[in-house]
Amino acid sequence: MNQPGSINNGASDIASVLVVVQASFSLVAGLSALPFAIVEPGFRVLAVVTILMAAAMFWLARNLRRGRRWAWRWLVTLEVLSLAMTAVLSLLPIGSIRGPVPLLVNLVIPLSVLVLLAVASSNRPSRPRAAELT
């Protein structure tokens, strides 16, 4: 059910699917760190944080589909942060982004989600002004 100030259209539907894809990949990254966490205490924290983050992203995707404005805001923040991290890592000489798959996952998908979120927001029907209601 849409609320006042909500967003709901094809763009947000597509964005929510891409967020679910990202969340699934985060979930795998978190789960795969668990065996290492047996001997590496730092990764116990990181694995749990990653799994919680993935759960949060599933939840945000669900609420984006339902047109919740706050989910839209959280996702914009997360995707901007993700892109900023990718930009910083690609500038460092540590070989983080090499080949088409990291480009698609770390650059194209977050950028697409941001564009779709922007489109979803611009397609949102504007609220009627007080004067129009009277």
Partner 1 sequence: MGAYVALIGRGYVGVMYDIATDHASALIAALITPVFGFGFVLGLRFLASRGITWAVRVMQAYGATPSITKLAAALMLLSGGLHLALVPGHAGITGVLFIVDGLGFIGLGIAAFFTSWWRRPAVLWLVATIVAYIVWVVAGWETPDQVGIACKLIELVALGLLMRLANPTRRSWPRRAWRATAFPLMACVTTLGIWVGGLAHPDALHAHAGALLQPVADVATPEQQVAAARLLADTRANIARYQDPAAAIAAGFKPGPVSSADPLRHFQNAANANVILDPNRPQALVYAQTTHGLQLIGAMFQMARAGQWGPDPGGPLTQWHQHEGICFSPFGFEFTFETPFWTCPVGSTSITTPPMLHVWIIDNGKNGPFAADLDKTVQRQLTGRS
Letter string b/e over residues 20-51, b meaning 16 or more CB atoms within 10 A of that residue's CB: bebbeebbeebeebeeebeeeeebeeebeebb
Alpha carbon distance 83, 78 (integer Å): 9
Overall residue count recorded for the chain in this entry: 134
Binding-site member from 2, 3, 31, 91 for partner 1 (CB under 8 A): 31
Q: Does 101 bind partner 1 (CB under 8 A)?
A: yes
Q: Minimum distance from CB of 61 to partner 1 (Å)?
A: 10
Q: Does 107 bind partner 1 (CB under 8 A)?
A: no
Q: Which stretch binds partner 1 (CB under 8 A): 8-16, 67-75, 124-132?
A: 8-16
Q: Minimum distance from CB of 110 to partner 1 (Å)?
A: 12
Binding-site member from 66, 96, 111, 118 for partner 1 (CB under 8 A): 96
Contact between residue 63 and residue 3 where contact means Cβ atoms under 8 Å apart? no
